[in-house]
A = this chain, B = another copy of it.
């Protein structure tokens, strides 16, 4: 149904004034600039940038990075790996979430189909079950051992004796060791350049220490993979690292603005919305972008500036001083002035179009079927880029 409606609108050359709302808008120029910026930083360090496509989930977006494939890319689900491989021709893929025994066969079949798939694990059990599947299928992904650099999630500490035991189990089971992989997830909670540089150094040091421990024990450790959007931008030294992963940097968002990795001028995604009601006595404007369009992510709630469910901009993308999405129901957003903003509520007629910058590009993007792409400051929609979803 929605697709039909969208196609009908498309024959009339859609613009920001005519698209059905709510809709996910992507500013291609900003995205290209964000990609070029991080690519330039990584080139300076002499390391490979392996973008994490869990944010974009779009072959068209990935093509701005790799016009002809084949990667390297990172994914967060096997469904993403299959989508980018089969539909996009991407073959150098790291699946950066711990493998469970049920997914091992699906992963092995991708390798049998010619994909250089690398998976992630941190236990002997996972190594053994992957080895068994590899023997049955006749093809096996290589495996990263996940390293814990900041206590954020999973992985082994670099000096954990289990590291060598897992490497040995991989060797015993004929599973190639891809290397070590870590992610400084706690860096999302920082906002000071010095602390961010220290988080980057902690991430680097943990991965390199683990790689050295493996090599000292006689194992090859070809890839030393680190990364998060904040640490990738604040790293001063990446000695010993071979590649960096980052995802949200392509689009940026209000959380990354709060961390200090970008400004709101860098945020490439926004939600186009329409005013559907007013409650001036309460200081409210109602729009048709609720949490179904924005997601329930409240990532700025613990930052210095809390943007509610998003920062409200005019249809051209310029922030309206002080105006945020203060509350969200499923299909209603309630706009109000941020407490202490000292601004005056604008008088917006029903039907006014606005754009809302999201707290978290990964979460907001996931609520939508496709990107409506704009460029060159024009309101014209120049492309419709589908997104994938599922597992």
Contact = CB atoms under 8 A, between A and B. Distances in A.
Nearest to A247: B330
A44 to B, nearest CB: 28
Given A298-B296, A349-B125, A366-B292, A79 B390 contact: no
A69 interface: no
B79 A350 contact: no
Interface stretch (A27-35, A98-106, A259-267): A98-106
Interface in A246-277: 274-277
A76 B331 contact: yes
A321 to B, nearest CB: 24
Contacts of A334: 153
A317 interface: no
Given A126-B350, A330-B76, A98 B277 contact: yes
A5 to B, nearest CB: 7
Interface string A320-333: 00000000011110
A18 B363 contact: no
A225 interface: no
Given A77-B331, A123-B277, A332-B154, A351 B2 contact: no
A122 B2 contact: no
Contact of A286 (B54, B153, B366): B153
A276 B100 contact: yes
Given A1-B82, A367-B366, A351 B292 contact: no
25 contacts: A1-B388, A2-B79, A2-B389, A3-B390, A5-B79, A5-B82, A18-B102, A20-B103, A20-B106, A21-B102, A23-B391, A54-B331, A76-B330, A98-B277, A98-B286, A100-B276, A123-B277, A125-B351, A129-B351, A151-B282, A153-B332, A153-B334, A154-B279, A366-B367, A369-B390
